Amino acid sequence: MSITAIPMHLQEVPTTDGTGTAAPHHNPEATRGRDVSFAERRAVLLHSLRVLLQQYPIGETLPSVRELATQLGQAQRYVGSAMVHLDRLGEVVYSPSGGRNAGRRRLSPQEQHPNDIAFDRAVRHGIESGRHGAGTVLPTAILAVQHGLTLELVPRALRLVIKDKLVAFWEGPHGPGYYVLTVSGRPA
């Protein structure tokens, strides 16, 4: 039985070397004359975008997607898609449609995405009150609906609860899901 904080398919983007770590800085000579897969191009773009975003202080407004695309020499639609991906991971706040809490800014690793705060509080309150007991599966679909999130955003919303070792993704006795941990940090 294996416990991981976040399901493997959500932890990291594919990389050119297949290790799951950040892709090296893009070297056009390395890909010249050979077919480059979509996953490789995506990994390089995400890495380049992450490097570019490091230049901007955490919490301050980021440039528009148009400006970022110009700086990266990429099409706006690809940079916008990469920003959506980073938003889903909880690295930035970005809403292409200008929805609730719209804006573009970097998040610190300890900062909750503004759209996830109520979800996080509900999970913590449920654990503290005993409603979600140790070893039980969190009702993530119900919580997501109650707090206006889609299921694909649940890992982002649980990011800090997982970091605090209150919950972990586990292939448990009731199937895969986010299980409430015991005091020792292990499922009951």
Question: What would the pLDDT profile of 138-179 be if each residue is shown by its tens digit?
Answer: 999 999 999 999 999 999 999 999 999 999 998 988 889 999
Tally of CB atoms within 10 A around 90: 20
Given a cut of 90, whether residue 19 has pLDDT beyond it is no
Question: What would the pLDDT profile of 92-135 be if each residue is shown by its tens digit?
Answer: 999 887 655 467 899 999 999 999 999 999 999 999 999 999 99
For the chain, how big is the Rg over CA atoms in Å? 18
Burial of 183: CB neighbours in 10 Å, binned 0-12, 13-18, 19+: exposed
The residue ranges of every structural domain in the chain are 3-106, 114-180
State the Cα angle at 91 between 88 and 96, rounded to 5°. 55
- For residue 176, the 8-state DSSP code is E
Pick the CATH number of 114-180 from 1.20.990.10, 1.10.10.10, 2.40.30.10, 3.40.50.1370: 1.10.10.10
- The pTM (predicted TM-score) of the whole model is 0.72
* Distance between CA atoms of residues 165 and 163, nearest Å: 5
Pick the CATH number of 3-106 from 1.20.1250.20, 3.90.1170.50, 1.10.10.10, 3.90.1150.10: 1.10.10.10
H or E element at residue 170: strand 167-172
Domains 3-106 and 114-180 share a fold: yes
Q: How confident is the model at residue 31 (pLDDT cuts 50, 70, 90)?
A: low
Q: 25-29, 42-46, 137-141 — which is least confidently predicted?
A: 25-29
* Distance between CA atoms of residues 119 and 82, nearest Å: 24
pLDDT of residue 68: 95
Given a cut of 50, whether residue 20 has pLDDT beyond it is no
